[in-house]
Amino acid sequence: MALINPKKKEVQVKIVYYGPGRGGKTTNLEYINKKFRSRIKSEMVTVKTYNDRTLFFDFLPFDIGMIKGYTIKIQFYTVPGQVKYNATRKLVLRGVDGIVFVADSMTLRQEMNIKSLENLRENLASFNKDLNNIPLVLQYNKRDLGKQGIPILPIETLESDLNGSLKVPYFPASAVTGENVAATMKKIISLTVISLREKLDLGGK
């Protein structure tokens, strides 16, 4: 749950990038960190293994300024996508306010996407949270691979696999080129802050 400091008029929002291994979660944060470096005052922390995989998580905090008198501090996390690190994923998910599910568009990863989304649903359930009731955005990453002749799933297939019942906003994207990376981030911040409006008593003016 978001940390709210009424005295300092400060809100800390936790957003987690979730998805199958090698799907591009870290690349999303790295793109934002690089592109908007001059506006993000803090450093991105990333804990990787020798072969460039996320071992624990990535962490990118930044302020987006004041909304209705509250300073909004956003904390982005990624989880390790590898199946064996489920305990870590659960740990990072604790207290989550919003989620971006980064799906891999490659045809070969179709099953992994579905399993990872199911894993997200289960892990949230262990904290008594429902995937259907949490701010969520889907990102269909690696769309650029299609131009390189690598088989990718059509958006319709990804939608029916992952978003059939959820009906949440989605973005075709490429974290490598930056296509829709900021748009995804803007959408999840927007959905999450709006979901917190009652707790913050926003809109009272």
Partner 1 sequence: MKNEKDISILDELNNRLDDFFSDELTEDNISDIFDEPVKKSSINTPRPVNCQSVKKNFDDLKAILLEMDWEINEDNLNNYLNEISLLLNCYSDDRVIYLFLKLLKSLGHYMLYKQSNANPDVLKFLYNSFGCIEKIISEKMTEYDRNLLILKETEKFKQLKSTIFPKTNNKAANNSFENVDEKKKMTFKSLPEEIQKEINDYIENEINAKINELKKRLNKIK
| Site map 98..117 versus partner 1, x via CB under 8 A | --------------------
Strand ranges, E, within 32-179: 45-48, 54-67, 70-78, 98-104, 136-141, 170-172
Name the residue nearer to partner 1 (CB basis): 96 or 152: 96
- Return the residue of 2, 124, 131, 193 that touches partner 1, per CB under 8 A: 193
Task: Work out the angle at residue 31's Cα, subtended by the Cα atoms of residues 159 and 74, and round it to the nearest 5 degrees.
Answer: 85
From the list 62, 59, 75, 66, the residue with the least C-alpha distance to 8 is: 66
| Site map 153..182 versus partner 1, x via CB under 8 A | -----------------------------x
- Return the residue of 49, 126, 132, 160 that touches partner 1, per CB under 8 A: 49
Contacts of 205 (CB under 8 A, 6+ apart): 68, 69
Q: What is the DSSP letter of 199?
A: H
**149: contact with partner 1 by CB under 8 A:** no
Residues 138, 180: contact at Cβ < 8 Å? no
**83: contact with partner 1 by CB under 8 A:** no
Q: How far is the CB of 201 from partner 1 (least distance, A)?
A: 10
Stretch that binds partner 1, among 17-25, 53-61, 98-106, 156-164 (CB under 8 A): 53-61
